[in-house]
Structure 1
Amino acid sequence: MASVTGTSISMASFKASLAPSSRTSNLKSVSFPNSGKSFTTLRMQPARFRISCAAKPETVTKVCEIVKKQLALPDDSAVTGESKFAALGADSLDTVEIVMGLEEEFGISVEEDSAQSIATVQDAADLIEKLIENKGA
């Protein structure tokens, strides 16, 4: 039996039946008791929850190189998949130039709506692989 209280859910067993219409948008934590002992409570942070298709490491590496080149960053600059363009000093014009460099390098075309959703190197790499996959289909 599952019970919803405030912003948490407590499970009396692993079988829970929530009505399809129930909403959990305000869910903050989940606890699963097991024979009187509880597992660690999982804390939810909706703003950080996202599903990623995890682009290939070589795609991420290539995007990192293009970002460094477009932003004229030193070779020893730490640019990773989690790097945000804004944190690297990119403004909106720089971001447009990065997208153009990615389009040229990977032979893709990025729609304006998709380009606006790119905030990190990983976002760009994931979008590139999605576009390449769609192009091949």
Structure 2
Amino acid sequence: MAAFTGASSTTLISPPHISRQCLVEVASTRISGLKMVSFSNSGRSNLPVSFRRLQISCAAKPETVEKVCDIVKKQLALKDDVSVAGDSKFATLGADSLDTVEIVMALEEAFGITVEEESAQSIATVQDAADLIEKLCEKDSA
């Protein structure tokens, strides 16, 4: 059985054909403010593939991703023919650690947010940045 806690509710999930005795090693880690939950049953292989790994994610709004792409292109002085998308990694686009700091500063200014150093270190892609921005904007408006 696993619990997923949202902003206003908690949902319990337990696959009906798996006994409680063999289910319940749940490992979770944080990914962009969301939890990734993995199910295992101490090495037994009777869990269906769909329940061995369950990932829940929520992507940022397309307009947020687009704005982040524009800021990244501007900060890195990329040519118009260079494609920047949500899955673009800063390092692949040629950004070093100083460039990444400057990108984060530009994002803070553009979105009116403050990014903590720990959070900034977890940003590797445009999507990571967009997800963090939406999380911080949601937190600020609450």
Q: TM-score scaled to structure 2, two decimals?
A: 0.68
Do residues 133 (structure 1) and 122 (structure 2) align? Answer: no
Identical-residue share of aligned pairs (%): 65
Cα deviation digits, residues 23-56 of structure 1 (max 9, x gap): 62987x8875xxxxxxxx66x7x7xx85432000
Q: Deviation at 1:135?
A: 0.2
Partner of 2:19: 17
Identify the residue that residue 107 of structure 2 maps to in structure 1: 102
Number of matched residues? Answer: 113
Distance 2:41 2:83 in 1: 36
| Structure 2 equivalent of residue 117 of structure 1 | 122
Kindly provide the CA deviation profile for residues 78-128 of structure 1, in whole angstroms up to 9, marking residues without a partner as x: 100000111111110000000000000000000000000001000000000
Aligned 1:23-42 pairs, distance under 5 A: 24=40, 32=48
Partner SS, residue 131 of structure 1:
helix
Q: 1:124 to 1:14 in 2, by over 3 A?
A: same
SS in 2 for 1:86: coil
Structure of higher CA gyration radius: 1
Name structure 2 gaps, 5 residues minimum.
1-14, 27-39
Calculate the aligned-residue CA RMSD, in Å. Answer: 2.8
Deviation at 1:75, TM superposition (A): 1.6
- Give 2:75's match in structure 1, choosing from 70, 76, 83: 70
